[in-house]
A and B are shown apart, each in its own frame.
Chain A
Amino acid sequence: MIQFFRSAVPGLVTLLFCLVFFPLHLVAAEEGEYIAIRKEGSGNIALVLDKLDAKGRKETSYAQSLDAIMNGGLDFTRLFSLISPPLNVKDSSDRKNIVINFPALTSVGAEVYVGGAVTMKSDEIILEMKVYEAAGSKLLMNKIYRGNEATLRTMGHAFCADLVELLTGKKSVFGSKIVFISNKTGFKEIYECEFDGYGPKQLTNSRSISMNPVLSPDGKHLAYIDFTSGRPTLYIKSLIGGRIASVGKSSVSIDPGWRSNSEVGATLSFDGNQEIYLVNIDGTLSRRVTNSKSIDISPTFSPDGSKMAFVSSRNGLPQLFIQDLASGEVKRLTFSGRYNTQPSWSPAGDKIVYTTWEKGGEINIFTIGSDGSGLVQLTRNCGENKSPSWSPDGEMIVFTSNRQGKEKLYVMSSKGGNERVLLQGDGEQTQPSWSLFR
């Protein structure tokens, strides 16, 4: 049940109509350059992703790979209800002109129909994708993606990204990366994988202890802690040039968080106390941010960089605080829970996710508004759940859990639910951090 509107007033009227009579159905409205299908109630977008057309052995093989890649990608987002295409979806009796059977699609509840074809031109793979609104038989998008055998995943996900943006008006997780720690070699090293856990790759080989990797917003630098020097030291590595800067001051460095593409917040204790500083990407100090006699750690910044949430034991047990960087004003954010740590500020700026170590020994993940309102518990009754980090679109949270024994990476909806394993590998995987949009 999708309606497309050209102007706001009849749109509003029809929207009200739909809300009254079809409160659980989707309502779409054209907004600017994209077509936004808004979810009313809890329904996902009902989508038929048809098998790609292909002629020839190679084409058919690539088409099958792309089918699986796009299906897996769209399923991962949990934005869609993927419906199997009805048998009579395409009428190819006229060989020149394949006709899509839209009534058959609407009869199975499909709101959007996606079809496409794979052809080849010498070694180039050409993927042509078409997106239709089922009820109105209207072509919403027709786009060609080019690549080769090695870039099938990128091609398929490029379409998935376009589809999500077309239907929701928002950027998606496709193309984003997750960095994390794994001890599978016997040492804690840094790894990265794609947004869905695909293709884990080892980034460091320091045979020491690495901790808390986090990518800069532009993805060009990786900040992390490593014990190679004998003490926990902050390193900032250029992922393009490979240059590695470290903080020269002799001290303990703890848990970096990016404020911008050129500044990292981190705790350094060279003056005898654990204080948060802003560090430039060349390893020089920009300025000191906190000044308390207690532990101050784990800086995470509002998207505009004006505010910093962090953990402090200034009132005794660790709690979250927010400091305005310009005025220096500090406000306590959390008042429930005795041990609140690991804050991460949402990409939209409205929420902070963190963990609470509960009395019974569980560690659970919560979100709270950056104004202190709307506390929501996301995990419960499943052991220790730690190190939450937002997906770049704010729809998901990656975290670690020991619910099945060893610590593994999981993802869930940022509103809670849909918890599932992201990555199955040897050893334990910890401290995941999701990249922002490039």
Chain B
Amino acid sequence: MKKNSVVFLALMVIAGCSSKSTVTPDEAPISQPSLRSSSSIPPSSPSGYGFDQWQTGPLGDVFYDYDSATLSIDAQDQLKQNGGWMDGNASKSALIEGHCDQRGTSEYNLALGDRRAASAKEYLVRLGVSSSRLETVSFGEERPFAQGQSEEAWAKNRRAHFVVK
């Protein structure tokens, strides 16, 4: 029983449902993901929020604030889109890579990237995607997408990157 409640609490935190537990308290409130409402999810297209030169596959990437693994409204919308695609392509699985910008220290960023990948996965699982189809990994700050020391580059590197398997 205790173990179950711990897992449930962890889900609450990862999905950002409890504002007390979020890393950044000034985060926008996060809506509950709707389970199994794939008919209302627009088909994903390789344009928009989650798509750029580093993401041209069917699943869009999601982006994070500084030192945060919390899902923004845009991130949640993208994940709903990704969930719809996963729903319609039941034979496919996905690897979710957590990435960070190169500021801070590399060990902490490896942990932060792990939490970013995990938050994206948990949201998809709550949408109904089987967790066995979603693998996560963290690259921390080791594989940045955009080069350079600007907020624009940093923002591009704080992401969960989706790779269809």
Binding site for B on A (CB under 8 A): 188, 209, 211-212, 225, 227, 230-232, 252, 254-255, 267, 269, 272-274, 293, 295, 297-298, 311, 313, 316-318, 339, 341-342, 355, 357, 361, 363, 386-387, 430-431
> CB-CB < 8 A to A272: which residues of B?
7, 10, 118
User: B27: CB under 8 A from chain A?
Assistant: no
Cβ-defined contact, A342 with B107, below 8 A: yes
Q: Do A232 and B108 touch across chains, with their CB atoms under 8 A apart?
A: no
Contact of B115 among A209, A225, A295 (CB under 8 A): A295
Return A229 CB to nearest CB of chain B, in Å: 10
What are 15 A-to-B residue pairs whose CB atoms are below 8 Å? A211-B142, A212-B107, A227-B142, A232-B138, A252-B111, A269-B111, A269-B118, A274-B115, A293-B10, A311-B108, A316-B23, A342-B105, A357-B105, A387-B105, A431-B106
Say whether A339 contacts B104, CB under 8 Å: yes
How far apart sit A270 and B122, CA to CA, in the bound complex (Å)?
A: 14
Query: Which chain B residues lie closer than 8 Å to A273 at the CB level?
Result: 10
Give the shortest distance, in Å, between B9 (CB) and chain A (any CB): 7
List A contacts of B137 (CB < 8 A): 230-232, 252
Interface residues of B in 112-165 (CB under 8 A from A): 112, 114-115, 118, 137-140, 142-143
The binding surface of chain A is classed by DSSP as strand
Q: Does B21 contact A (CB under 8 A)?
A: yes
Q: Is the CB of A295 within 8 A of B112?
A: yes
Name the residue in B23, B114, B140 with the highest tally of chain A Cβ atoms < 10 Å from its Cβ.
B114
Compute how far the CA of A363 lies from the CA of B105 in the bound complex, rounded to whole angstroms: 9
List residues of chain A with CB within 8 A of the CB of B23: 313, 316
Q: How far, in angstroms, from A255 to B108 measured CA to CA in the complex?
A: 9
**Contact between A297 and B13, CB atoms less than 8 A apart:** no
A321 to B82, CA, bound (A): 39
Answer whether residue B67 sits at the interface, using C-beta atoms and an 8 A cutoff. yes
B110 on the A face (CB < 8 A): yes
Q: Establish whether residues A298 and B67, one from each chain, have CB atoms under 8 Å apart when the complex forms.
A: no
Contact assessment for A298 and B138 in the assembled complex, using a CB-CB cutoff below 8 Å: no
Closest to A254 in B: B110
CA distance A341 to B112 in the complex (A): 13
Query: Closest CB of chain B to A214's CB: distance in Å?
Result: 12
Q: Identify B107's interface contact among A230, A231, A298, A313, CB under 8 A.
A: A298
Q: Which of B21, B104, B111 has the most CB of A within 10 A?
A: B111
Complex contacts, B107 vs chain A, CB 8 Å: 211-212, 254-255, 297-298, 311, 341-342
Nearest-Cβ distance from residue A204 to partner chain B, whole angstroms: 15
Distance in angstroms from A270 CB to nearest chain B CB is 11
B108 touches A295 (CB 8 A): yes
Residue of B nearest to A250 (CB): B135
The 5 A-B pairs of least Cβ separation, nearest first, read A255-B107, A295-B111, A231-B137, A341-B105, A252-B114
Q: Tell yes or no: B103 within 8 A of A by CB.
A: yes
B140 to chain A: which residues have CB within 8 Å? 232
B115 neighbours in A (Cβ, 8 Å): 274, 295
Closest to A338 in B: B67
Instruction: Please measure, in the bound complex, the distance between the C-alpha atom of A298 and the C-alpha atom of B62, giving whole angstroms.
Output: 28
Within 8 A of A (CB), among B59-116: 67, 103-108, 110-112, 114-115
Additional A-B contact list (9), CB under 8 Å, known A252-B137, A255-B107, A274-B114: A211-B110, A232-B140, A254-B110, A269-B118, A273-B10, A274-B111, A295-B112, A295-B115, A387-B105
Q: With the chains together, A386 CA to B104 CA distance in Å?
A: 10
Q: Are B105 and A317 in contact (CB under 8 A)?
A: no
Q: How long is the Cα–Cα vector from A209 to B140 in the complex, in angstroms?
A: 11
The residue in chain A whose Cβ has the minimal distance to the Cβ of B25 is A316
Which of A209, A317, A431 is the one whose CB lies under 8 Å from B67?
A: A317
Residues in A whose Cβ lies below 8 Å from that of B21: 293
**When A252-B138, A363-B105 are in contact, do A267 and B111 touch as well, CB less than 8 Å?**
yes
- Max count, chain A CB within 10 A of own CB: residue among B67, B108, B142: B108
Give CA–CA (A355, B103) in the complex, Å: 13
List A contacts of B114 (CB < 8 A).
Answer: 252, 254, 269, 274
Docked pose: A430 CA to B13 CA in angstroms: 34
Selected from B10, B105, B112, the residue in CB contact (under 8 A) with A355 is B105
- Alpha-carbon gap, A188 to B139, bound state (A): 13
Complex Cα gap A292–B58 (Å):
36
Residue of A nearest to B24 (CB): A316
Q: For residue B139, which residues in chain A have a CB less than 8 angstroms away from its CB? A: 209, 227
